[in-house]
Amino acid sequence: MIGRLQGQLVGEEPDGALVLDVHGVGYVLTTPIGTVARARATSAEEGLTLHVHTHVRADAIELFGFASEAERRAFRLMIGVPNVGPKTALNALSALPLEELNHAVQEGDVARLSRVPGIGKKTAERLVLELRGKVPRVGAGAGASAAPASASPEDKRSRLLAALTNMGYRAAEAERAVRSLGDQLEKQPLSGLLRQALAWLTP
């Protein structure tokens, strides 16, 4: 069981997966969008620190990486809810920053949760029922993330397109949503841009 990895980022896949080199071994981790920006970089030598959930299936072992212990705990809580698998939990953490996810659950905002791809009304209601009072807040636990690093507009654009298509939107739809953001690509963090793009796609 792997719980934490610290190493150099050597690759990023379009689907959000990262390749982290830890003493010569490359680990592939599936992550929510914006993880690299939120992850705590301790030093150039040590690289990124990711909190890891090891997901064991009959046919595969998957690693999921998170910028903070709080995000990992929220992920584990969500996949413990019936009909919520790892992909849906990642979609939720990509679309909703942890504080917003906490607020939606606490306030019983089923409509907001239902806009996350893969979460219907019944699943949203179950999330509210089972997670109210349990979702960790930003900064909770060890390894809280530092201020996000900056990214170029073109990098944000490519990561947004990848995130939206990974959530099930067609490439043309994702392209139109990202184009609608205009100069906000230069001003907003990835999490905010993703929320705006999802709002444009689900009016």
Q: Is residue 147 predicted with pLDDT exceeding 70?
A: no
pLDDT at residue number 175: 87
pLDDT digits (tens, 9 = 90+) for 100-135: 899 899 999 999 999 888 899 999 999 998 998 888
pLDDT digits (tens, 9 = 90+) for 24-77: 999 999 999 888 877 765 445 668 899 999 998 888 889 999 999 999 999 999
pLDDT at residue number 46: 64
Q: Which residue has the tokens 């996949």?
A: 79
The domains of the chain, with CATH numbers, are 4-66 (2.40.50.140), 69-131 (1.10.150.20), 153-201 (1.10.8)
pLDDT digits (tens, 9 = 90+) for 151-179: 667 777 877 887 777 666 778 888 888 88
pLDDT at residue number 137: 65
Q: Is residue 90 predicted with pLDDT exceeding 60?
A: yes
CA-closest candidate to residue 96, choices 82, 114, 123: 114
CA-closest candidate to residue 34, choices 193, 183, 184: 193
The torsion angles phi and psi of 16, rounded to 5 degrees, stand at 100, -5
Using pLDDT thresholds of 50, 70 and 90, give the confidence band for residue 190. confident
How far, in Å, CA of 164 to CA of 180, rounded?
Answer: 14
pTM of the model: 0.68
What is the DSSP track for the chain?
A: ---EEEEEEEEE-TTSEEEEEETTEEEEEE--TTHHHHSEEEETTTEEEEEEEEEE-SS-EEEEEESSHHHHHHHHHHHTSTT--HHHHHHHHHHS-HHHHHHHHHHT-HHHHHTSTT--HHHHHHHHHHHTTTSPPTT-SSS---SPPP--HHHHHHHHHHHHHHTT--HHHHHHHHHTTTTHHHHS-HHHHHHHHHHHH--
